[in-house]
Amino acid sequence: MEIRDNLQIKTFAEYKKTYQKSIEEPEAFWKTVAEKFTWTKKWDKVLSADFKKPEVNWFQGATLNITQNCLDRHVKNHPNKNAIIWEPNDPNEESRHITYKQLQVKVCNFANVLKQNGIEKGDRVCIYMPMIPELAIAMLACARIGAIHSIVFAGFSSKAVASRINDSGCKMLITANDYYRGRKSIKLKEICDEALENTPSIETVIVYRRTVNPTSMKEGRDKFWFDELQKAYAECDPVEVEAEHPLFILYTSGSTGKPKGMVHTTGGYMVGTTYTFQNTFQLNEKDIYWCTADIGWITGHSYIIYGPLCAGATTVMFEGVPSYPDFDRFWEIIEKFKITHFYTAPTAIRSLAKQNVKHVEKHNLESLKVLGSVGEPINEEAWHWFNDNVGKTKCPIVDTWWQTETGSIMISPLAGVTATRPTFATLPLPGVQPAIMDDERNEIEFDGKVAEGKLTIKAPWPAIARTIWNNHQRYKETYFSAYPGYYFSGDGAYRDAVGNYRITGRVDDVVIVSGHNLGTAPIENAINEHEKVSESAIVGFPHDVKGNALYAYVILYDHNDATNSLKQEIRDMVSKNIGAIAKPQKIQFVTELPKTRSGKIMRRILRKIAANQTENMGDTSTLLNPDVVEEIQKKKV
Ligand code: 7RM
């Protein structure tokens, strides 16, 4: 598979034709795509699946190694092309350019470190590292020998690491001593040491020295990355694995209970992420692609590493934050590397849009061709700011809807090929069959009229997660029980008269007030329509009479507007747009909402505050802004 081959859709007519074929003859369609890849043995059957069981198998009987597709193949064709360009947190530290050849050597070298420490095919390896090339090297080294990586975002707490290690029984932990993110120093090894007090399955810890600071090491267990490399060969043959062999586990938080270890397998995930990468972003050979996500999230797995590298692209990795040393860091990096494709999150766009526009104007962004957005619905204002100030109205914005569970992009414009529409993810990628379900749980078939309801997918696609680690029952209940025969996304969607999809938000946040099911997303939308409101979050809290009542947390553009009369205006607005039943009982003006780094509001925390159940807040270390929790609590109404 190379960047531009005849699988890249180039016109709207071609999209239509390809989409039709992918739906009518899915096996024939995906076979053509899969044939572009390197397999050690071809499949006996392209697809066998049953969403009722549920069970999904792609390319059964085939064997492969994904690193042959993202490394060896390109080393043959363009060894000196940059695979990874890395930008450090500190702009005065040197950036690193790693070619495909160099990356292959580093991956193979480290794969031997894994082997010499007893890691074999099928073993789980936990990776807990900052955004440095060694994180990519560690994950690819696992894939090289068929070990299953479980990457834990480096912003997570020791408890979060320990519970993830224990859930999947990891034998090894790969980490760094410490690092800087913005101005903040993070002592990663110390966090690991705390976690390691309760992780009996870990035999070895490999520590990469990111700084020269002293690091405490436990004799017999902890080993430095470089010491181990010295002892290891540079060549390592790829281990042949079955198409359905697990490639990685990635934990995603549920609305309740412990995180779910989503299991992604090798063949389908490779085909799905690469095909969607090529078609969504429409890269050319010389383009420089930058996705600002952390590799600890699915976006980083699929669209910093596996998709781009399998396609032979140059992918940029950034260690820092958008605000350090100043709010122009993103724009500076785009100028520095002449980025052509820039993929980021609405939360980042909104926070940068709040800054003086001079930060953007200071930099030459002419290299940009395509912009992308992912993680949450992008509001109209943010969309236009991005389009006008960053894209200078010349770059299509691909608003990509997908999930940890889907593995690859599901609904999105194809850059420059299909039309964009602000706030709409628009059309499904080939092979993806979305469906909208009504309140009676029936599908609302597309008939040229608008529709709104719950978003499901009615046929398997190659990169879907196959199970939850050690808990297939929970997989079935969470995704395949609400609508038998369909995958339920947990999101709501609106479909316009020509078939464009707009994601309206999570629907699992439903509150029952006096027996009425109220989705929180539409109420938030109504509140956000007030000109003084920048953002809001609605949760339910127990109420003697109504069962539940609604609590609204509201951010204003100008906090000085926080008055009782504004509260009344907000209630009226909800009344008018949705109905009196949806009027929030309590409204609290806040300056920030608790958010994950990918921009998702943590409603779990807001629910606890509203219900006065603040003794046990649970793990708040996944928050971008943990301090905000106390602030909100203090001013509770
Ligand atoms: C890729 C990722 C998944 C949830 C999903 C949605 C929301 C993601 C969009 C979006 C509107 C988008 N995986 N979401 N992308 N909502 N428009 N383009 O974020 O597992 O972390 O989150 O994110 O609610 O269900 S995730």
Decide whether any atom of ligand 1 lies within 6 Å of the 503 Cβ: yes
C-beta of residue 285 within 8 angstroms of C-beta of residue 184: no
pLDDT per position as a tens digit, 268-317: 999 999 999 999 999 999 999 999 999 999 999 999 999 999 999 999 99
- Mean pLDDT for 534-540 is 92
Decide whether any atom of ligand 1 lies within 6 Å of the 376 Cβ: yes
List the residue whose alpha carbon is closest to atom 19 of ligand 1.
375
C-beta of residue 480 within 8 angstroms of C-beta of residue 509: no
Q: How far is the CA of 338 from the centre of ligand 1 (A)?
A: 28
C-beta of residue 413 within 8 angstroms of C-beta of residue 398: yes
Q: Give the least confident one: 123-127, 298-302, 309-313, 620-624.
A: 620-624
Statement: residue 60 has pLDDT above 90:
yes
Decide whether any atom of ligand 1 lies within 6 Å of the 599 Cβ: no
C-beta of residue 63 within 8 angstroms of C-beta of residue 241: yes
DSSP label at 69? I
DSSP symbols for 483-515: STTSEEEEEEEEE-TTS-EEEEEESS-EEEETT
Give me the helices (H) in 387-519, please.
472-480
Q: How far is the CA of 344 from the centre of ligand 1 (A)?
A: 12
- Mean pLDDT for 459-481 is 97
Confidence of residue 334 (pLDDT cuts 50, 70, 90): very high
Amino acid identity of residue 299, one-letter, is: T
For 619: left if phi > 0, alpha if psi spans -120 to 50, otherwise beta; the answer is beta
Q: How far is the CA of 404 from the centre of ligand 1 (A)?
A: 8
Among 374, 378, 420, 624, name the best residue to mutate to test ligand 1's pocket (greatest count of ligand atoms within 8 A of Cβ). Answer: 374
Give the pLDDT confidence score for residue 2 in this predicted structure: 67
- Mean pLDDT for 390-401 is 98
* Cα gap 143→136, rounded to integer Å: 11
Tokens of 338: 């002449």
Q: Which helix (H) or strand (E) holds 167?
A: helix 158-168
Grouping H, G, I as helix, E, B as strand and the rest as coil, residue 241 is strand
pLDDT per position as a tens digit, 83-97: 999 999 999 999 999
C-beta of residue 119 within 8 angstroms of C-beta of residue 144: no
Q: Give the least confident one: 33-47, 100-114, 571-585.
A: 571-585
- Mean pLDDT for 401-405 is 96
CA 254 to chain CA centroid, nearest Å: 14
| Residue ranges of E strands in 15-157 | 45-50, 55-60, 63-64, 82-87, 96-99, 124-128, 148-151
Q: Which helix (H) or strand (E) holds 227?
A: helix 225-230
CA 448 to chain CA centroid, nearest Å: 32
- Mean pLDDT for 339-354 is 91
Atom of ligand 1 at shortest range from CA of 596? 21
Give the pLDDT confidence score for residue 161 in this predicted structure: 94
For residues 548 and 203, the model is more confident at 203
Amino acid identity of residue 260, one-letter, is: K
Decide whether any atom of ligand 1 lies within 6 Å of the 299 Cβ: yes
Sign for the CA dihedral angle at 267, 269, 272, 277 comes to: negative
Q: How far is the CA of 521 from the centre of ligand 1 (A)?
A: 14
Confidence of residue 517 (pLDDT cuts 50, 70, 90): low
Amino acid identity of residue 242, one-letter, is: E
Decide whether any atom of ligand 1 lies within 6 Å of the 86 Cβ: no
Among 503, 596, 624, name the best residue to mutate to test ligand 1's pocket (greatest count of ligand atoms within 8 A of Cβ). Answer: 503
* Cα gap 454→438, rounded to integer Å: 7
The number of helices, as runs of H, and strands, as runs of E, in the chain is 21, 30
CB contact burial 284-299 (16+ within 10 A = b; e otherwise): eeebbbbbbbbbbbbb
- Mean pLDDT for 482-505 is 94
Q: Which residues pair with residue 502 across a beta bridge?
A: 494
Global confidence as pTM: 0.88
pLDDT > 70: what percent of the chain?
98
Burial class for 101, CB neighbours closer than 10 Å (0-12, 13-18, 19+) = middle
